[in-house]
């Protein structure tokens, strides 16, 4: 809906965030 932040409105933005989180998790695992 309109009350949702642009973060969730854009699928690509969400994918980028997920990739960043995955990278951070991988770095922590190491």
pLDDT of res. 25: 92
Whole-structure pTM value: 0.48
pLDDT of res. 11: 64
- What distance in Å separates the CA atoms of residue 15 and residue 9, rounded to the nearest whole number? 11
How do residues 1-30 score in pLDDT, each as one tens digit?
566 565 555 667 778 888 889 999 999 887
pLDDT of res. 29: 83
Domain that holds residue 18: 1-30
pLDDT of res. 16: 83
* Total domains, the chain: 1
- What distance in Å separates the CA atoms of residue 13 and residue 19, rounded to the nearest whole number? 10
Structure tokens at 16: 């980028």
- What distance in Å separates the CA atoms of residue 30 and residue 25, rounded to the nearest whole number? 9
């Amino acid at each position: 809906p309109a009350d949702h932040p642009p973060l969730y409105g854009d699928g690509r933005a969400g994918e980028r965030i997920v990739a960043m989180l995955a990278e951070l998790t991988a770095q922590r695992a190491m």
